A and B are shown apart, each in its own frame.
Chain A
Amino acid sequence: MSSSPLPANEGGAFGHLAGEGVDVTHGVVLYLEDISVSFDGFQALNKLSLSIDVGELRCVIGPNGAGKTTMMDVITGKTRPDEGSAFFGQTIDLTKLSEAEIAHAGIGRKFQKPTIFEYLTVFENLELAMKADKRVRKSLFSVLDSHQRDSIAETLKTIRLSESADRVAGLLSHGQKQWLEIGMLLMQEPRLLLLDEPVAGMSDEETERTGELFLSLAGRHSLVVVEHDMAFIARIARKVTVLHEGSVLAEGPMSEVQSDPKVIEVYLGR
């Protein structure tokens, strides 16, 4: 991988809340092992195993019902697996944490439909999302310091909304709203970003720019992108995981996966 492992927590945190840092000494930010989830007899995930490296950009594809969203739910604590283990870094057991704790630990998730604060400006949206003390009293007396202003300005640049910083977020285009939401996730300084169909409803140009954005984020963050748009995947993918009926069908570079007879059968045999 392009980036070196980031400094890990000294002295190894064995509690399930590893404080500030995520232990990524082995260069892996997320491990899923033999995860199974079933709803009323329907096997949504079936012994799914997956690992994401630090700084990696991973694309996950698969037909409807393959278990993509359920996988995201397990990682973010929304759904508990029946079996298997899910670790964030070496030490953080995701199956034991609440959604909020997982968000605090450093996993950000973007849902399909953009949810932003429509009546606040783009700048204010990022300000609220920023990692900070979020108790009532602190918010009353909070004044942005120059470091925080810089960090917002940097994110604005990353999501290409510097020009619109003072615009009311509700007036942004659909694609820009998606970016703003990604920017809000970035302000929380996550180690791992989960993106569920991020280019749905975007114009071709917006899709292209989103691809560039993700490529620029990889390295600093680890990204998992779930998407239906194959052209988009082909443009950004380094490594693709194909899910089918709740487990990994194939994994590897896009060209390899596309020529895999099993994958062709699943996609064409629908």
Chain B
Amino acid sequence: MTRLYGPKGWALIALMGLALFVAFPILSLQVPGDSPWHVSQYWVTLVGKIMCYAIVALAMDLIWGYAGILSLGHGLFFALGGYAMGMYLMRQIGREGQYQSDLPDFMVFLDWKDYPWHWWNTDQFWWALLLVVLVPGLLALVFGFFAFRSRVKGVYFSIITQALTFAAMLAFFRNAMGFGGNNGFTDFKRILGLPITTPETRMVLFAFTGLTLILTLLLARWIVTSKFGRVLTAIRDAETRVAFCGYNTVHYKLAIFVLSAVICGIAGALYVPQVGIINPSEMSPANSIEIAIWVAVGGRGSLAGAIIGAGAVNGAKSFFTQVFPEYWLYALGLIFILVTLFLPRGIVGLIAGIREKLK
């Protein structure tokens, strides 16, 4: 326990747990809607969404901040987890679709008579959970094996991961893939038989997301404080030297890449029922780049930084897209340039710098 965090760190995590599992549910469900203390559904969804992004940022920080491998395809793993959950949610609609068929509307529209093979067993929740973990994990394993074995490094690795997510997006756009084409999946009705849009269900999803975020943080912390984590940092700084010390660096890079992909998949699976939609635009190259920006803004190589970065950038995003919707991308670009130029260690580095000056 003490290896992971000191008393201050644990206190902060407890505070986070208190806010997510006590304060939020009470303020949202118990406090009446006309009270100034009431937390609206908008905020529950927004914070829930940002927590999903924070989980992704942690996964990104593990591979980029610690192991020095900039993957620009993490949006794909997130989307795959989301699609796996989305398939289950589509099956939960039952006959309540527009065409009142056993099949999802888009399949009826395509005049399909039965589910394609890859929809097998997707009406089972446990199967969906398995897919959420296995699909991103296996893809990362196979892709990473060939990339790392061929010693694809640095910017080349970033580019081929961008190409991977772009190719996947084009494939998912096609109706014949059986994933709803460019509309993806939406209009979900139920999860585990419970209506998905009620405040209570949303709060449960919110709490699960919060729990996953905290567990991911602890897992990541456990990893980076282990010898395994130190080997990752060493690989980032001097890979040939690590190999010379007798470590098989391909295995290490592969292990963290697969773990990172699986975490993204889980985040995607939590994201889709809360946001209510998944479509191929989640796989667009820009989305994956944005993940890297969250981590850069928060501070590479700091787990707290990843969470702070995801929160800060997405908080700014929801503000901008309401007030000046057309300027958000300019603002994002500007944030990235400013952070790169003036805050190489991100927000966390800025705070550490201020603290040092105060001493």
* Complex contacts, B243 vs chain A, CB 8 Å: 100
Question: Which of A100, A136, A184 is B228 in contact with, Cβ under 8 Å?
Answer: A136
* Complex contacts, B246 vs chain A, CB 8 Å: 100, 103-104, 134, 188
Query: Chain B: interface secondary structure?
Result: helix
Which of B241-272 touch A at CB < 8 Å?
241-248, 251-252, 255
Query: B113 near A: Cβ within 8 Å?
Result: no
* Complex contacts, B238 vs chain A, CB 8 Å: 115-118
CB atoms of B227 and A118 under 8 A apart: no
Which of these binds chain A: B116-124, B183-191, B229-237?
A: B229-237
A120 to B236, CA, bound (A): 11
CB atoms of A134 and B234 under 8 A apart: no
A141 to B223, CA, bound (A): 9
Known: A100-B243, A128-B242, A142-B227. A120 touches B234 (CB 8 A): yes
A100 to B246, CA, bound (A): 7
Query: B226 near A: Cβ within 8 Å?
Result: yes
Query: B100 near A: Cβ within 8 Å?
Result: no
Query: B40 near A: Cβ within 8 Å?
Result: no
A100 to B230, CA, bound (A): 21
* Complex contacts, A135 vs chain B, CB 8 Å: 248, 251
CB atoms of B251 and A136 under 8 A apart: yes
CB atoms of B226 and A141 under 8 A apart: yes
Interface size class of A (residues with CB under 8 A): 20 to 34
Interface size class of B (residues with CB under 8 A): 20 to 34
CB atoms of A124 and B248 under 8 A apart: no
CB atoms of B245 and A129 under 8 A apart: yes
* Complex contacts, A173 vs chain B, CB 8 Å: none
Query: A34 near B: Cβ within 8 Å?
Result: no
Query: B240 near A: Cβ within 8 Å?
Result: yes
A52, chain B: closest CB distance, angstroms: 21
Known: A100-B243, A134-B247. A117 touches B234 (CB 8 A): yes
Query: A127 near B: Cβ within 8 Å?
Result: yes
| Contact code string B265-309 (vs A, CB < 8 Å = 1, else 0) | 000000000000000000000000000000000000000000000
| Contact code string B200-213 (vs A, CB < 8 Å = 1, else 0) | 00000000000000
* Complex contacts, B242 vs chain A, CB 8 Å: 117, 128
CB atoms of B228 and A139 under 8 A apart: yes
A120 to B242, CA, bound (A): 13
A188 to B244, CA, bound (A): 10
* Complex contacts, A141 vs chain B, CB 8 Å: 226
A2 to B333, CA, bound (A): 68
A119 to B238, CA, bound (A): 10
CB atoms of B228 and A140 under 8 A apart: yes
A146 to B242, CA, bound (A): 24
A100 to B250, CA, bound (A): 15
CB atoms of B245 and A134 under 8 A apart: yes
| Contact code string A97-126 (vs B, CB < 8 Å = 1, else 0) | 001100110000000000111111000100
Question: Which of B226, B240, B241, B245 is A140 in contact with, Cβ under 8 Å?
Answer: B226
Known: A100-B246, A104-B246. A142 touches B241 (CB 8 A): no
* Complex contacts, A127 vs chain B, CB 8 Å: 227, 230
* Complex contacts, B255 vs chain A, CB 8 Å: 136
| Contact code string B212-227 (vs A, CB < 8 Å = 1, else 0) | 0000000000010011
A99 to B241, CA, bound (A): 12
Known: A118-B237, A119-B237. A128 touches B252 (CB 8 A): no
A234 to B252, CA, bound (A): 45
> What are 26 of the A-B contact pairs (CB < 8 Å)?
A99-B244, A104-B246, A115-B238, A115-B240, A116-B241, A117-B230, A117-B238, A117-B242, A118-B238, A120-B230, A120-B234, A120-B237, A127-B230, A128-B227, A128-B230, A128-B245, A128-B247, A129-B245, A134-B246, A134-B247, A135-B248, A136-B255, A140-B226, A140-B228, A142-B227, A188-B245
Given contacts A134-B248, A136-B255, 20 further A-B pairs with CB under 8 A are A99-B244, A104-B246, A117-B233, A117-B238, A120-B234, A128-B227, A128-B231, A128-B234, A128-B242, A129-B245, A135-B248, A135-B251, A136-B252, A140-B226, A140-B227, A140-B228, A141-B226, A142-B227, A184-B245, A188-B246
8 closest A-B pairs by beta carbon, nearest first, are A139-B228, A142-B227, A117-B234, A139-B227, A140-B228, A115-B241, A134-B247, A136-B255
